[in-house]
Structure 1
Amino acid sequence: MLVFRLLPVSVIPDRVVELVGYSEMTRQPNAVSVPVEINSTEFFETADRVGGLAVRRESRLVDEFIAHRVGHNFTRWAINLPAEHTRLLTDIYDESDHTLYEAKAIVSRSDLRMAVGQLYDYRRHVHVDDLRCSVLLPERPTADLRDFLSDAGLGVAFREQTTFVLVSPDTSHQAEQLHQ
């Protein structure tokens, strides 16, 4: 009896991955650190109507937050999902304190629920020792929403006048205020 153990010498076709059902068969690294995008414009054209402009509120919030974290190094993660032909981009990752932030321009329950789902998805692919995850918001969320994030094991950072308040995921009742 002869047994052949074949190894792929080129890209594995998606139909083979689907047949095998092995989702961890990747062709590239799952998550790659990339630079934070430069958000030099505050407006962008919308596709739903001619001449429509929208404000990049999340981008502005991210830029302001980074400016307040003097001495910290920020990147973001590009997460490749070859089976879906998709690449997810996180908002920002603070390399200095191992915190992944998902920014939301609106402090609503639906937006925070979306942020929780996004962070849970991202952290499955980002392999960093002591990774912490937090939601970045333009204002203080209600007590119930803060409890929701705490119960989910997530921190929160929010703007308060000219500074940002950080509530760490592991110390939900302690806050650190950053001054400009």
Structure 2
Amino acid sequence: LNSKGIAVDVLPVTIPVGYVADAFVALHADSDGVGENSGFKMAHGARRGPYEDALLNDIKDSYGAATGLEYDPTHITNQMRGYYPFSWSRFQHAVAAHTPAVILEMGYVSNDDDRALMLDRADLVAGSIADGIMKFLSDTPRSAIFGQDLVVPAFPSRPSRPSPTP
């Protein structure tokens, strides 16, 4: 991405307060403990902007085509959807509300073939992720991402508690 003029920030585990970017991609590798699962999976938070689906699909398409790994929607977890960098309304160390953000579990380190792909073909893996990000950035201009007010659905209302009687 740097060679194409795209600034890349490698962030610490704790996201800087109010971090803003044209795209945020958290790279992870999963494990099932026994090596049976294979493939990659992706998610984004529910309370995000309108561009997460496009970012997810662009990376998913390029990553799957280049690596040959199958997409594994069966094992997407609530922890992936609720990943703290997506939760700008709950945590100050999250990406800004306008920043499109996804998590990519690149494969299973517990699976010999997935692990070999991630280790032995790291350039292919990285290039396919970069290609997906580039497609997203070319299809989604910054003015579209940051040019409009962001309307986020409200949290579901909770029933009120009755006041204690004296």
The reply to whether TM is greater than 0.5 is: no
User: Normalising by structure 1, what TM-score?
Assistant: 0.27
Q: Which structure shows the bigger proportion of residues in strand conformation?
A: 1
Bigger relative contact order, structure 1 or 2 (CA pairs below 8 A, ≥6 apart) = 2
